[in-house]
Amino acid sequence: MEPIHILLVEDNEGDIFLTKEAFENGKVYTELSVVKDGKAAIDFLRKKGEFSNVKEPELLLLDLNLPKKNGFEVLEFIKQDTKLKHIPVIILSTSSAERDINKCYENHANCYIIKPVDIESLITVISKIENFWLSIVKLPTNKT
């Protein structure tokens, strides 16, 4: 069985480490790619430069507060691109601001999760993402 390819767009090293650990200890076979800024996320999705040979992700976990290009810009890019808009995008942000939540849904985010600040809760959230998005939901077929 092929692993489910997930792109994590996150600049916080601690959150990257915990997310990797949670997926490694999960029940679903995953392949996790990580980029640390919005520009790199767009380059990854365009398969540009160092990302020319990457596999298209089947699911994207996107932080909002990123260097170079923020998560809103990345989300807008994805959902306006006919070749990428099928990829489910899960916003995983510490922001609980209604304007941020509304803006993400207006730009067709598939869901918005407020990232917990404590380690155990973050691991629980990642586990629930895995249980729902990778075990229950039928993801679109990878086009590349």
- Consecutive sets of 10 residues in the chain, 144 residues long: mean pLDDT of each? 87 88 79 94 94 92 94 95 93 93 95 87 83 75 58
Q: What CATH number is given to the structural domain containing 14?
A: 3.40.50.2300
Domain of 111? 4-136
The pLDDT, as a whole number, for residue 23 is: 81
Residue count (the chain): 144
The pLDDT, as a whole number, for residue 77 is: 96
Q: With respect to residue 100, please indicate whether it lies within any of the assigned structural domains.
A: yes
Q: With respect to residue 51, please indicate whether it lies within any of the assigned structural domains.
A: yes
**Distance between CA atoms of residues 25 and 19, nearest Å:** 10
The pLDDT, as a whole number, for residue 92 is: 92
Select from 13, 17, 64 the least CA-distant residue to 41.
Answer: 64
Q: With respect to residue 98, please indicate whether it lies within any of the assigned structural domains.
A: yes
Report the run of H or E that residue 13 belongs to, with start and end: helix 13-24
User: What are the CA-CA distances from residue 10 to residues 20, 24, 33 (Å)?
Assistant: 12, 17, 11
Q: With respect to residue 12, please indicate whether it lies within any of the assigned structural domains.
A: yes
Please answer whether residues 30 and 139 qualify as being in contact, where contact means their C-beta atoms are separated by less than 8 angstroms.
Answer: no
The pLDDT, as a whole number, for residue 143 is: 54
Q: With respect to residue 80, please indicate whether it lies within any of the assigned structural domains.
A: yes
**Distance between CA atoms of residues 89 and 50, nearest Å:** 23
Number of domains in the chain: 1
The pLDDT, as a whole number, for residue 144 is: 47
